Homo-oligomer: A and B are copies of this chain.
Amino acid sequence: MPTFRNLTDTAAFAALKDTTPFDVTGLSPERVTEMRIPLAADLTYSYAATPVNASVMQRLGELAGEQELIAKYRMLAEGAVMNTGEQRLVLHHLLRGQLGADVIHEGRNQREFYVEQQRRVAEFAAAVRSGAETAPSGNRYRTVVQIGIGGSDLGPRALYLALEQWARAEGIDPQIEARFVSNVDPDDAAAVLSDVDFESTLFVLVSKSGTTQETLTNEKFVQELAARRAPGIDLLKQTVAVTSQSSPMATSGAYRDAFFIDNFIGGRYSATSAVGGVVLSVAFGPEVFQRILDGAHAADRAAMEPDIRKNAALMDAMIGLYERTVLGWPATAVLPYSQALSRFPAHLQQLDMESNGKSVNRDGEPVDYATGPVVFGEPGTNGQHSFYQLLHQGTDVVPLQFVGFLDSQLGQDTEFDGSTSQTKLNANLAAQIVAFAVGKDDDNPNKRFAGGRPSTLIVGRRLTPEAVGALLAHFENKVMFQGLAWNINSFDQEGVQLGKILTKEVLGGNPGPQLAAYAALLGVT
């Protein structure tokens, strides 16, 4: 049974603070060749341009060992109560496959439960795609609209956008377009649905509790819009729910069907559950969704490797922790050189900041070291023409996580000025890594690049369903390892509660004086 201790109670952390980091201005071609780890699904993780040398690597490995990270990952995968705050298991890995012993909870084999839901989702999606399942109008479904917020939105949306053009290139047929409504801002739903044909649109209503205020409000909004635009339509008959079995959305029996998750799948870890499964299987086919799961499972298995030199997620986690807690860098940028990953940074922002933005350890005691960083990002090469200025020459160091692919998704390309677009894209990516790390001197300090700005790179052959699944799971596992090393609970989110309580006070007409003043300023009376 592993022991849980704060980071500051480990010998490896103390040793790490006394170790001199590698100065990445000394980046060598040998490092690029040697310092990489196969991840899964044709992805490779490169950490040549990070502050890691032999001594740092030694200490990072010792830290992973002393904090028993692999043993704790195994505990988690085998059903220990790792969400200590809410006293829950943490089972998103089981959505993708079995990693260890069966998890039996209250007599139920959890893996079997998830697989059964996947089978039901696959059957439903296949029926929609074949036309066996039609809208009540008799029309075939052409559009699927997901209504959900937070983890019920960001992960599924990022995955959908990641594969939309890939599906086109592969000739996936039929092409059912997915859209997403999340914000309680009424302009959001109105805009997303402005040109939707309600008589050929399937709705997926996603809320684990069945009580998410934004989602239920948007459901009502959509129903009223439908009643105006397609009078007489009964939207419930073309809406499926994704929720927990005991929620009001499940027990009402009001919807065409319901697919289930449970409390052991956290919102930000739910993209590979029915939360992402229904919309992605309807849009691309259940076999494509299965390929995402396969890629994720391969990354989950790779993360079980005890040797940090062969475990990309563990290495990535320990380097990130070193940069954040020892070297003191407060933010991390995620920079995919792939337009299809345009919303992947937003998903990772939630995944990382909601999981590890904590100030207490897993037992609820305050910690006295920096935990999760601010995470942000946009696709390259756009960022190069925007915020990279600060990353190159600003007064703070911001570690970078690059993602790139050898081939484009569509394979459509053009040659201009002696090279293709894809070649230019990757030439830019290579150039940035070296520019950040090595820098360049100049007599004019304004044109001087100090360098010393570290980055990692995940490179794949092409952004396929397996690759995006592996990418998703890699970051989930990285965040998990960091949380375990910091000895925090990465699986609750008490920080979102106070805002909900105060919102109710405003809407209930009993706000405190400061709140009443702001409500008045905002026209809420």
Q: Which residues of B contact A187 (CB under 8 A)?
A: 165, 338-340, 408-410, 412
Contact between A519 and B427, CB atoms less than 8 A apart: yes
Contact between A498 and B406, CB atoms less than 8 A apart: no
Q: How far is the CA of A241 from the CA of B514 in the complex (A)?
A: 52
Q: Which residues of B contact A308 (CB under 8 A)?
A: none
Most buried by B among A32, A390, A497: A390
A435-486 interface with B by 8 A CB criterion: 435, 437-440, 444-450, 457, 459
Please tell me which one of the listed residues B370, B398, B500 contacts residue A395 in the complex, with CB atoms under 8 A apart. Answer: B370
The copy count of this chain in the complex is 2
Segment at the B interface, from A9-17, A108-116, A352-360? A352-360
A524/B426 contact (C-beta < 8 A), A28-B513, A498-B392 known: yes
Minimum C-beta distance from A321 to chain B (A) = 13
Residue of B nearest to A189 (CB): B421
Segment at the B interface, from A95-103, A283-291, A378-386? A378-386
A386-430 Cβ-contact flags toward B at 8 Å (1 or 0): 111111111110100000101111101110111111111111111
Residue of B nearest to A148 (CB): B385
Interface size range on A against B? 35 or more
Please tell me which one of the listed residues B151, B420, B435 contacts residue A385 in the complex, with CB atoms under 8 A apart. Answer: B151
Q: Is A516's CB within 8 Å of the partner chain B?
A: yes
Minimum C-beta distance from A341 to chain B (A) = 10
Q: Which residues of B contact A496 (CB under 8 A)?
A: 384-385, 388-389, 392
Q: How far is the CA of A369 from the CA of B187 in the complex (A)?
A: 42
A34-58 Cβ-contact flags toward B at 8 Å (1 or 0): 0010000000101010000000000
Q: Is A255's CB within 8 Å of the partner chain B?
A: no
Q: How far is the CA of A448 from the CA of B340 in the complex (A)?
A: 39
Q: Which residues of B contact A499 (CB under 8 A)?
A: 384, 388, 392, 428, 431-432, 435
Minimum C-beta distance from A494 to chain B (A) = 5
Residue of B nearest to A86 (CB): B446
Q: Is A492's CB within 8 Å of the partner chain B?
A: yes
Q: How far is the CA of A445 from the CA of B445 in the complex (A)?
A: 48
Contact between B371 and A439, CB atoms less than 8 A apart: no
Minimum C-beta distance from A181 to chain B (A) = 10
Q: Is A374's CB within 8 Å of the partner chain B?
A: yes
Contact between A503 and B428, CB atoms less than 8 A apart: yes
Residue of B nearest to A164 (CB): B191
Q: Is A80's CB within 8 Å of the partner chain B?
A: no
Between A and B, 23 residue pairs with Cβ closer than 8 Å are: A28-B513, A29-B516, A32-B514, A149-B381, A149-B382, A149-B385, A150-B385, A186-B425, A191-B340, A216-B417, A330-B330, A350-B387, A353-B391, A358-B389, A358-B394, A358-B395, A359-B450, A370-B395, A388-B495, A394-B495, A417-B507, A431-B502, A434-B514
Contact between B424 and A217, CB atoms less than 8 A apart: yes
Q: Is A233's CB within 8 Å of the partner chain B?
A: no
Q: Which residues of B contact A394 (CB under 8 A)?
A: 353, 357-359, 371-372, 495
